[in-house]
Chains A and B, each alone.
Chain A
Amino acid sequence: MTYPEDPMDTTIVPPRLSAGLSLHPSGATHGGENTPVIDLADVAVWYGDYQAVRGVSMPVARNQITAMIGPSGCGKSTVLRSLNRMNDLIGGARVTGVVSYHGQDLYARDVDPIEVRRRIGMVFQKPNPFPKSIYDNVTYGLKVNKMDTGRTDDLVEQALRGAALWDEVKDKLKTSALALSGGQQQRLCIARTIAVRPEVILMDEPCSALDPIATGKIEDLMHELAASYTIVIVTHNMQQAARVSHRTAFFTAELDDAGVRHGRLVEFNDTGRIFTNPADKRTEDYITGRFG
C-alpha cells in the first residue's frame, strides 16, 4: 500500500459547515483515485483472548458515506470503535493490523488518542446527551478543545443548524437536553459532534432508537453532511444502507475450526454493487433474506 511521503505533513483542514451543502452525495469518485481518509489493513480486534473480528481490510473514502452491515455480533461496532480508538476505553481490548489515517498508523506508540478522537468523532446508538442544557451540550466539545474563543453563540447556531435542529430548539437553548425527544437528542448529539469540526464522523446505528420520521430526518442530514464530512455508519437496516451510503461493507460471523465465532469482512464494494450484484454468496443470502 502506498501512502503520502510524509504522513505527518498532512495538514488537516477542518471541514466548513458553511461550505455549499448538496442534498445528494456526489458519487463520482467511487473507488477512484481518491486516497482514502482511513485505511484498514488486515485489522483484527481482540477482547482479552477472544478475537472478535479479523481480517478486515477496507478503505474509507473522503466525503463519502461508508456503511457497515451484517448480522448481530459480527463485529461492526467493534471495527467502528477501532477507527477512533474508542476501544481503548474497554479493558482488555486490543487492535492488531494497521488502521491508518491519512497514512498515519493510529495505533503507533506516540499517537495521542485524544487528538485522534478530536478528528474522528462518534455518534452512538443510544442518544447520550450530557445532563446539561442544549447550549452546554454543544459548547462542551468546543470548551475541551479550546475552540470557544469568541463567537461561541454563532458556532452553537451553526452546529444546531447543521444537525437540522436549530428551528426546534432555538427558543430553549438553556433548557435541559434530557427534555428533548429521542430523535431530537440524537440530532443534538450530531450537532455536538460537528461543532468540533471533525474530519470523520462515525455513527453506530444512530437511528435504531428512532421512529421513521426522525430516521428520515437523520438520513437527510447524513446526505448533507457527506458534502463536508466523511461518514462511516453501522446499520441494521438494509434499506437505510442502500439509501444513504456510497459504499458498503458486509460483515458476518463464522465459526473457526476450534468452534469459536469470529467476525470478518466478507465483501466491500460500491453500495449499488452490493445490493444488486454481490460477489459473495453470503452477502446475497443476507441481503435477499432481508429484502424477502
Chain B
Amino acid sequence: MTTTTNPRGPSSADVRAELTRRRFRPAETAFKLALQACLAIGLAFLVALLAFAVTKGWHRLDARLWENMPTGRVSRAGEAGVQSAIWGTVWVISLTAAICLPTGVLAAIYLEEYADNTRWYNRLLELNIQNLAGVPSIVFGILGLGLIARVIGLGFTVATAAVVLSLLVLPTVIIASREAIRAVPQSIRHASYALGATRWQTVSRQVLPAAVPGIATGSILALSRAIGEAAPLILLGAVTFIRFNPDSLLSAYTTLPIQIYNLIKEPQAEFQELAAAAIVLMLVVLLAMNSIAIFVRNRFTKRW
C-alpha cells in the first residue's frame, strides 16, 4: 500500500475510507439466509399444525374435554371427552419416569465415573446404547408384546406400557446424563479426591449436583418424547374407547396420542373436533414440559 510509505502513517481520511467501505461477503450472506430459511421451515410447520388444531378443536376446548366417553358413544359424540386418556397418560408417564430416570442416571454414572472404557465390554456397551437410541419405537413395542406382556405376563397394562416406554427413552436419558456428567470439570473431582473423598462421595456430593441441570433437561425432553409415543402402545393394547380411569399399575389404559389416533379414524365430525382439541392439549403439555426444561437449565446451571 502506498500509504505505508508515508513517514507519518496513513492519513485519517484514508483510514476512515478503508474502515467504512461497504463490503459484500457472499458466503456470509448466503449462510445467514440458509439458516433463516431452515428456521422458517421448522416454524412454518409448527404454526400450521397449531393453527389447524386450534381452529378445528377450538370450541371443544372446554370442560367437556374433561369427560369420559359416554355410553352409546356415537349418538352422544358431542359430549365425549378424553378424561381416561389424560389419566392414562399421567399414570404411564409417571411410572415411566420412576423407572427410566433412576436407571438412566445410574447407568450414566457407571459409564462415566466407574467403567474403564479401555475394556472392550464397556465400549461394546456404549456402542449399543448409541444404537438403541436409533431403534424404531415399534420394535420396542414388539419386544414389549412378546417379552413383557406375554412371557413375563404383565399383560396389556399400565405397567407394561411404562416398562416399554422406559426402555425406549432410556438411551436418551443415559446419553443426556453422560453429557451432563462429563461437562463437570475434572478439577472438581480431583479436588474432592485430594481431600480423601471416596468415589461415591465425589459422585454424589460434587458431580451429580453439578450435573443436575443437564440431567434434568435431557430427562424432561426424553419424557416428552415418551408422552407423544403411540406406535409401541398400539401393539400393547392401549384400549380404544375406554370409559374408566386406570386405578392401578395393572389397569387397562389408554393414552392421549392413542386416543387422538383412534378418534381421527372415526367418521363423526364431533370426534374429529375432539381429536383436534386433544392435539392442542398435548401440544400445551409438551410446551409446558419443554419450558420447564429450559427454566431448569437456565436457573440451575453452574458457572465455572
Contacts and interface: CB of A to CB of B under 8 A. Distances in A.
Contacts of B191: 124, 128-130, 189, 192
Contacts of B188: 128, 130-131
Interface residues of A, number: 28
Interface in B108-136: 116-118
A117 B304 contact: no
A18 B187 CA distance: 30
B190 A86 contact: yes
Given A91-B116, A131-B304, A144 B190 contact: no
Interface stretch (B72-80, B140-148, B192-200): B192-200
B193 A196 contact: no
Given A89-B190, A124-B190, A141 B196 contact: yes
A114 interface: yes
Contact of B187 (A115, A117, A126, A144): A126
Contact of B118 (A86, A92, A122, A189): A92
A178 B303 CA distance: 8
A140 B185 CA distance: 18
B118 A140 contact: no
B194 A140 contact: no
Interface in B137-196: 185, 187-196
Contacts of A192: 191, 195
Interface string B188-232: 111111111110010001100010000000000000000000000
Interface string A173-192: 00000100000000001001
Contacts of B192: 130, 140, 144
B194 A122 contact: yes
A59 interface: no
Interface in B253-304: 302-304
A196 B192 CA distance: 12
Nearest to A125: B187
Nearest to B197: A144
Contacts of B201: 144
A193 B194 contact: yes
A118 interface: yes
Contacts of A119: 196
Given A128-B191, A131-B304, A91 B118 contact: yes
Given A122-B194, A140-B195, A144-B195, 5 more contacts: A86-B194, A118-B196, A119-B196, A131-B303, A140-B205
Interface of A: 84, 86, 89, 91-92, 114-115, 117-119, 121-122, 124, 126, 128-131, 140-141, 143-145, 178, 189, 192-193, 196
Interface of B: 116-118, 185, 187-198, 201, 205-206, 210, 302-304
Among all A-B residue pairs, the 4 with the closest Cβ atoms: A118-B196, A141-B195, A128-B187, A122-B194
